[in-house]
Amino acid sequence: MSENTTNINKEEEQLSLDDGRRVKVLSPGMMVFKRFIRNKLAIVGICTLFFMFAFSFLGGIISPYRQDQVFYKVDKANKEYAGAAVNTEYRFTSATDKPLSTMTRATFNSKVKNAAASEVTFQADGITYLASKVDDNFYVLTVGEEVGSVTVLGKIADVKPAAGVELSKAVTDAAVQAINKNQTSFEAEDCVFTLTKGAAKSYVLHRMSPVGLASMLNFAAYDAQNNDLVASFEFRKECETAMHKGESEFEVDGTVYTLEIEDETNADVLLNGDYVANVSNVIVNSVNVGVFLPIEYKAAAAEAIADKQTSFEYVNADGVTEKHTIQMRGNTYIISTEQETYLIDMYSPPSAKHWLGTDDHGMDVLTRLMYGGRISLLVGFVVMLLENLIGIVIGGISGYFGGWVDTLLMRFVDLFNSIPYYPMMIIAGAIMDSFEVDPYVRLYMMMAIMGIMGWTGVARVVRGQILSLREQDFMVATEATGIAVSRRIFRHLVPNVMPLLIVQATMGLGSIILAEATLSFLGLGIKYPLASWGSIINSSSNIYVMTNCWYLWIPAGLLIVLTVLGFNFVGDGLRDAFDPKMKR
């Protein structure tokens, strides 16, 4: 009750007309202000706009980040680590220091590879080679050296050594026996000899000595000091022969090695329980330059590939178990593993560090919104001022002078008014795109074009108002006192149009911001590294961003809506305040 009483008292107080109050009431500016602040929606609008300005202009200062600062993160990324391939080419090992000639290898590959026969002879560089197949993966190449000739007379075979060669009794006996048995080759003294039919009833005797190996398997030593041993002809020959035969031991130079056979193309060689070499038909290489893959890794990878597994684990030098995945791509395998990588922190969700996450460039969204707000508001104000400048001048002149000037200028206004706005802006944007205009220049160009395209409304309002004001008494007075024409227009007429213009401009600001946002959204407005709210929402045209990263585009959209709404509320409130008769 008591509250009510005081209220009534207050009202009574206000109703009394003392001098102070009368002056207040008579001040038109104050009247407008009082009417304005009584409008709740307008106050909401003003508060929104204050927030937006603070957010955009102060926010940029407060924010610890720059608008084009890119953030990085250290993350585990699945990266290609090694490549592997099943070897389909023969690798050649020479028994001597001299490697097998290119011609020999090429001829082998063309003649022997895929040949069905287990022994194939071929000629290269004038030498006759004999390739004996051990299995599909392994051939031994031998070369015959002419050591003598055998002449057959009836039942008697006579072995005659070649010049400078001595043949032991065992060899000659074996040769004779072979001829009697109609064999073309025989073994004696750990050597293979062949008999080639020469002239009538005579044979040429060749001593075959192995000169090389052709193998699909790849040998790798576990310890670098064993490299020479593992690469040696003897070692490889014995090892592969043992592998072919499925033996668990072989002997080289008096040392007995143990063989652990996984399958016919994959085995490990041990000496006294220590791994010496790995044999495999899978070749594993590092994809990164300068990274040396340890043999253990290669062996593990080769084994996994041979077993057709899709992943394997490997304990690295630091004792950490790494998981590697194998992907087959054509004939090759890609081995990838999770590695620590320095990445651009893209599309990161909101966190304490980035309140609204980061965008597709790894930039802080909140900071970009702040700087984008500057651009959006700046564009709004500059374009609005430009429109009003052109509109007031042309509308003022047109309305004041009337007659043919008015007709001409108004037709000009009609013309500009009917040029389609968006097509024009889009064409302009495309032109600037193809000239690759600097983003800052582009910003100014855009403001200029938007101003030029949008002034006609202002010109119409100014002209219409001036047409009616011109007939009023105060204008007659200005004419009578001889005030200059330009002064009459811009000092006496235009200020009277101002209230309406301010209302229109406030409402117009909203639509300018919308137009700029739309153009930027289409990618024809503000360009990177500059940001505007529209260009930030542009990222939502990517379906992934739209569906998964709400924090990238919804805040920007809300800022636009709130700002435009704020301008509309304030414009509405101003209109009501300036002219209460128009209050609807």
For another protein, the closer of residues 221 and 428 by Cβ is 428
The DSSP-derived string for 280-294 is: ESEEEEESSTTPPPP
Segment contacting another protein by CB under 8 A, of 63-71, 220-228, 230-238, 547-555: 547-555
Segment contacting another protein by CB under 8 A, of 278-286, 368-376, 466-474, 509-517: 509-517
For another protein, the closer of residues 270 and 522 by Cβ is 522
The answer to the question of residue 329 lying near another protein (CB under 8 A) is no
The answer to the question of residue 553 lying near another protein (CB under 8 A) is yes
CA distance 549 to 319: 39
Which residue from 94, 241, 417, 542 is in contact with another protein, where contact means CB under 8 A? Answer: 417
The answer to the question of residue 414 lying near another protein (CB under 8 A) is yes
Residues 38-77, interacting with another protein (CB under 8 A): 41
Q: How many residues bind another protein (CB under 8 A)?
A: 42
The answer to the question of residue 422 lying near another protein (CB under 8 A) is yes
Burial of 556: CB neighbours in 10 Å, binned 0-12, 13-18, 19+: buried
Residue 320: other Cβ atoms inside 10 A: 8
The answer to the question of residue 430 lying near another protein (CB under 8 A) is yes
Segment contacting another protein by CB under 8 A, of 112-120, 275-283, 341-349, 427-435: 427-435
- E strand or H helix at 191: strand 191-197
CA distance 465 to 395: 9
Return the ∠ at Cα 344 (arms to 341 and 345), rounded to 5°.
105
**Cross-strand bridge partners of residue 340:** 76
CA distance 37 to 47: 11
CB of 414 to another protein, least distance (A): 6
For another protein, the closer of residues 427 and 477 by Cβ is 427
The answer to the question of residue 213 lying near another protein (CB under 8 A) is no
Residue 241: other Cβ atoms inside 10 A: 16
Find tokens 């593990």 and name the residue: 300
CB of 447 to another protein, least distance (A): 17
The answer to the question of residue 508 lying near another protein (CB under 8 A) is no
Segment contacting another protein by CB under 8 A, of 78-86, 366-374, 491-499, 559-567: 559-567
The answer to the question of residue 547 lying near another protein (CB under 8 A) is yes
Q: Say if residues 213 and 138 touch (Cβ distance below 8 Å).
A: yes
For another protein, the closer of residues 306 and 565 by Cβ is 565
CA distance 170 to 294: 50
Segment contacting another protein by CB under 8 A, of 70-78, 288-296, 394-402, 568-576: 568-576
Contacts of 362 (CB under 8 A, 6+ apart): 70, 71, 72, 344, 345, 346
For another protein, the closer of residues 83 and 523 by Cβ is 523
CA atoms within 13 A on the CB side of 24: 9
CA distance 345 to 248: 55
CA distance 353 to 364: 9
For another protein, the closer of residues 212 and 534 by Cβ is 534
Judged by the rule CB under 8 A, the positions of this chain that interact with another protein are: 41, 411, 414-415, 417-420, 422-424, 426-428, 430-431, 434-435, 510, 514, 517-518, 521-522, 534, 537, 540, 543, 546-547, 550, 553-554, 557, 560-561, 564-565, 568-569, 572, 584
